[in-house]
Amino acid sequence: MNELLSKENLDYQERAREVAEKFVRPVAAELDRTGEYGWDILEALKSYELTGAWIPKEYGGQDAGVLNLCLVVEQLSRACGGVGVAFAVNALGSFPIIIGGTEEQKQKYLPPIASGNSLIAFGLSEKPSGSDAGSLRTTAIKDGDDYVVNGQKKWNTNGGVASTFTVYALTDPSRGMRGISAFIVEKDTPGFTVGKREDTMGIRTVPVNELEFADCRVPASQLLGHKENVGFKNAMMTLDRARPGVAAQALGLAQGAFEWALRYTSERKQFGQTVMSHQAIQFMLADMATQIEAARQLVYHSARVIDSGAANVNKIAAMGKVFATDTAMKVTTDAVQLFGGYGYCRDYPIEKYMRDAKITQIYEGTNQVQRLVIGRALTRELKELTDHLDVVVEHFPEVDG
Ligand code: CAA
Q: Which candidate, 3, 85, 6, places its Cα nearest to that of 41?
A: 85
- Nearest of 172, 128, 132 to residue 152 by alpha carbon: 128
Choose which CATH entry (1.10.8.50, 1.10.540.10, 3.30.559.10, 1.10.1740.10) describes domain 2-118. 1.10.540.10
Active site residue 14: no
Distance between Cα 220 and ligand 1 center (Å): 25
* Per-residue pLDDT tens over the stretch 269-324: 999 999 999 999 999 999 999 999 999 999 999 999 999 999 999 999 999 999 99
Residues 6+ away with beta carbon under 8 Å from 134:
176, 177, 180, 232
Q: Which residue among 94, 129, 136, 236 has the greatest number of ligand 1 atoms within 8 angstroms of its CB, and so is best to mutate?
A: 236
Tell me the pLDDT tens digit for each residue of 180-219.
Answer: 999 999 999 999 999 999 999 999 999 999 999 999 999 9
Report how far apart, in Å, the C-alpha atoms of 68 and of each of 16, 63, 130, 387 are: 10, 10, 29, 37
Over residues 119-139, mean pLDDT: 97
Bridge partner list, 165: 121, 185
Q: Is pLDDT of 401 > 70? A: no
Q: How far is the CA of 136 from the centre of ligand 1 (A)?
A: 12
Which tens digit of pLDDT belongs to each residue from 220-251?
999 999 999 999 999 999 999 999 999 999 99
Domain residue ranges of the chain, discontinuous segments joined by +: 2-118, 121-228, 233-388
pLDDT, mean of residues 319-338: 98
pLDDT value of residue 399: 74
| Residue 342 scores a pLDDT above 70 | yes
Query: Is the pLDDT reported for residue 400 higher than 90?
Result: no
* Average pLDDT for the chain: 97
Assess contact for 62 and 49: CB atoms under 8 A. yes
How confident is the model over 15-19, as a mean pLDDT?
Answer: 98
164-170 and 120-123 strand pairing:
parallel
Question: Cβ < 6 Å from ligand 1: which residues?
Answer: 89, 92, 122, 124-125, 131-134, 155-157, 177-178, 232-233, 236-237, 239-240, 314, 363-365, 369, 372-373
**pLDDT given at position 391:** 85
State pLDDT tens for residues 43-54: 999 999 999 999
pLDDT on residue 150: 98
Q: Which of 186, 364, 384, 394 is catalytic?
A: 364
pLDDT, average across residues 243-260: 98
Backbone angles phi, psi at 226, to 5 degrees: 55, 35
CATH homologous superfamily of domain 121-228? Butyryl-CoA Dehydrogenase, subunit A, domain 2 (2.40.110.10)
Tens of pLDDT, residue by residue over 60-91, are 999 999 999 999 999 999 999 999 999 999 99
Which of 348, 325, 322 has the alpha carbon at shortest distance from 336?
Answer: 348
The pLDDT tens digits of the residues spanning 364-393 come to 999 999 999 999 999 999 999 999 998 888
Look at residues 124, 111, 245, 107 and name the one whose alpha carbon lies nearest to residue 183. Answer: 124
Please answer whether residues 85 and 157 qualify as being in contact, where contact means their C-beta atoms are separated by less than 8 angstroms. Answer: yes
Distance 123 CA to ligand 1 centre (A): 14
Please tell me the distance between residue 56's alpha carbon and the centre of ligand 1 in angstroms: 25
Q: What's the CA gap between 240 and 365, in Å, rounded?
A: 10
What pLDDT, on the 0 to 100 scale, is given for residue 46? 98
CATH 3.10.20.30 describes domain 233-388: no
pLDDT of residue 237: 98
